Amino acid sequence: MTEVISPNVRRRHVFYVPGYDPMPPRRYRELYRVEGKKQAEISGYSLSIKGATGQNERYHWMVNTHIDGAETDTRIEFLLWNDIVFDSMRNSIPQTYWLLLKTLWLYLSSGALGALRRLRRAPILAAMYPVVVLMGQIAFSAMLGKVLGGFVGGAVGLTLGVGLFYLMLVLFRRLDKHFFAYYLLHDFAFWAQDGGAMPAVLGRRVDQFCDRICEVLDSDVDEVLIVGHSSGAHLAVVLAAEVLRRRADAPKLALLTLGQAIPVTSFLPAASDLRRDLQQISKREDVKWLDVSAPGDGACFALSDPVSVSGVASQTHKYGPTVISAAFSQTLSIETQRGTRWKFFRRHIQYLCAFEYPVEYDYFKITAGPVSLKARFAHRLSTASVIEKAYSPHTSIEVGDG
């Protein structure tokens, strides 16, 4: 941004909410360290990281920046729920295929799949990828089993055919680090397991997270920023809304959602609590909510206002989110664009990485710089191409406090 904004943050506390990822948080710290160094060199400021701990189950790292003559200290705290993700992926092969059928039926029968397709086709293609791959794997395995059984013949042939069929399915699962079909299916199925309602096991963890955020709001930091990436954006919205129900006044609080796929859940019939949370935050003028996405990221609902497309935007009091584009085609070099063209997961985490030609979105200035999110984007309107039409077939809102 060309406007000069006075520094207003000396100490910040960031709560980072990851998406559906079973991997440990240290990889995110390393990503922040490497990409933060790159961005600082590109943009001409100083950024250093020190310390990392998991004490009291609070994995965090410290960031110090010197930008435009202002020094800022930031603590980035990782909100862990990868153990829940890992446990949810422990289904057997038969259980996984049952999960596939159950999840697909929910999206089809509820009208959510058709609505999501009308909203954005790219993420729906990503959603259908595990369905196509897993069905292809079972068809291929059955074909091989049938060929072997027919060749040998009799009871022995039948036994060998069934054995080869299952053996191939086991092999495909072990090779899923190359296909990601099981992973993606479990991601969609996790949020859909209760028709879109918050899974009970995660709901208990959310309560613990909120306790911690409220604790930090009482400290002397200048900004408390909740950052949610991918399906973590959904959780970040829930956390911010719950904190605001506990605290009527939270001037330090800000929300940043990156590469969100909120409609995948908010369009489901039992997601009334999430729709309530979306509406609640959007009606808060005092809490800045910035949503960043990019058409070049096929795993998100790019430039879609999650409140409006979910059909819960207030006609009189709607202040957020401010939806902007990371504009990969303008902010990344030709070499980077070419190198990530077919690397869909790499593109999906670009929001957490350095940009060769940053314009207004700089992840490291936002999370560790001397200007608050609210001040940095105080006068920024949503991009002109934002999607605000209501698409969700389900718009009921759970009535609650706040």
For the residues 274-295, what does the mean pLDDT come to?
Answer: 97
Report helix angle 272-282 to 232-246, nearest 10: 70
Residue 206 sits in the same domain as residue 186: no
Residue 207 sits in the same domain as residue 67: yes
The residue segments making up the domain with residue 48 are 11-83+202-376
CA pair distance 150, 171, nearest whole angstrom: 22
Residue 30 sits in the same domain as residue 79: yes
Taking only the tens place, the pLDDT of each residue in 60-69 is 999 999 999 9
Instruction: Judge whether 386 lies within some domain.
Output: no
Instruction: Judge whether 394 lies within some domain.
Output: no
Taking only the tens place, the pLDDT of each residue in 299-351 is 999 999 999 999 999 988 899 999 999 999 999 999 999 999 889 999 999 99
Q: Are 291 and 324 in contact (CB under 8 A)?
A: yes
List, in order, residues 6 or more apart from 100 with CB less than 8 Å away.
Answer: 130, 131, 134, 135, 185, 189
What pLDDT was estimated at residue 284? 95
Residue 296 sits in the same domain as residue 318: yes
Residue 217 sits in the same domain as residue 346: yes
Of 192, 214, 230, the one marking the end of a domain is 192
The total of other beta-carbon atoms located within 10 Å of residue 2's CB is 5
Question: Domain of 17: which CATH number?
Answer: 3.40.50
Instruction: Judge whether 27 lies within some domain.
Output: yes
What pLDDT was estimated at residue 57? 62
Q: Look at residue 398 and tell me whether its pLDDT is greater than 90.
A: no
- Token pair listed for 14: 């960031």
Q: Are 253 and 210 in contact (CB under 8 A)?
A: no
Residue 104 sits in the same domain as residue 246: no
Residue 218 sits in the same domain as residue 303: yes
Residue 184 sits in the same domain as residue 233: no
| Average confidence score pLDDT of the chain | 94
Q: Look at residue 400 and tell me whether its pLDDT is greater than 50.
A: no
Residue corresponding to tokens 């997961």: 345
Residue 61 sits in the same domain as residue 115: no
SS3 176: helix
Q: Look at residue 1 and tell me whether its pLDDT is greater than 50.
A: no
Taking only the tens place, the pLDDT of each residue in 193-235 is 999 999 999 999 999 999 999 999 999 999 999 999 999 999 9
What is the largest distance, in Å, between two alpha-carbon atoms of the chain? 82
What pLDDT was estimated at residue 402? 39
CA pair distance 363, 36, nearest whole angstrom: 9
Instruction: Judge whether 399 lies within some domain.
Output: no
Instruction: Judge whether 119 lies within some domain.
Output: yes
pLDDT over 70 for what percent of the chain? Answer: 96
Residue 244 sits in the same domain as residue 357: yes
Q: What is the pLDDT confidence band of residue 370, given thresholds at 50, 70 and 90?
A: very high
Residue 289 sits in the same domain as residue 363: yes
User: Over 294-354, what HEC string results?
Assistant: CCCCCCCCCCECHHHHCCCCCCCCCCCCEEEECCHHHHCCHHHHHHCCCCHHHHHCHHHCC
Taking only the tens place, the pLDDT of each residue in 175-189 is 999 999 999 999 999
SS3 128: helix
Q: What total number of domains does the chain contain?
A: 2
Of 192, 224, 246, the one marking the end of a domain is 192
Where b means 16+ CB within 10 Å and e means fewer, 189-208 reads bbbbbeebbbbeebeebbee
Of 156, 172, 192, the one marking the end of a domain is 192
Question: What would the DSSP string read from start to end of 188-216?
Answer: HHHHHTTTTSPPHHHHHHHHHHHHHHHHH
List, in order, residues 6 or more apart from 127 with CB less than 8 Å away.
Answer: 116, 184, 188, 264
Q: Report how far Cα 200 is from the mean position of its chain's Cα atoms.
A: 19
Instruction: Judge whether 61 lies within some domain.
Output: yes
Instruction: Judge whether 389 lies within some domain.
Output: no
Instruction: Judge whether 396 lies within some domain.
Output: no
Residue 370 sits in the same domain as residue 278: yes
